[in-house]
Amino acid sequence: MSDLPDNLEVRDTDWAREEPEGTSYCSPWVLATVKHDDVQNLQRELTEDFTERVTMLSSKYVMGDLDGFNHPRRSV
């Protein structure tokens, strides 16, 4: 379980293929560049609807549109 309220729980319907055991979360404010060498083992695949939702929320967060976010934006 996540202790941050804006983490998105990945529900059974968000998985494009079989879902893994346990609960997974996605944090729309955590952005990173994933390099091919960093991917060790492909786990599962998410639906396009879920990835579009996360992308939209990430874009809003980066642009400073924090309406609806409970997570305090931190300076870097």
Residue 15 has a CB neighbour count (10 Å cut-off) of 16
Q: What is the pLDDT of residue 50?
A: 93
- Provide the number of structural domains found in the chain: 1
pLDDT of 69: 66
Using a cut of 0.75, tell me whether the model's pTM lies above it.
no
Domain membership flag for residue 35: yes
Could you tell me if residue 76 is inside a domain? no
Has residue 57 been placed in a domain?
A: yes
* Residue 16, domain member (yes or no): yes
Q: pLDDT confidence of 42, banded at 50, 70, 90?
A: low
Q: Note whether residue 69 is domain-resident.
A: no
Mean pLDDT over 31-58 rounds to 82
* CA–CA gap between residue 8 and residue 51 (Å, rounded): 11
Q: Is 16 in contact with 43 (CB distance < 8 Å)?
A: no
CB 20 within 8 A of CB 45: no
Rg (CA), the chain: 14
Tell me if 70 is assigned to some domain. no
How far is Cα 64 from Cα 13, in angstroms, rounded to an integer?
29
| pLDDT value for 67 | 72
* pLDDT band at residue 52 under the 50/70/90 scheme: very high
Q: Which domain holds residue 51?
A: 8-62
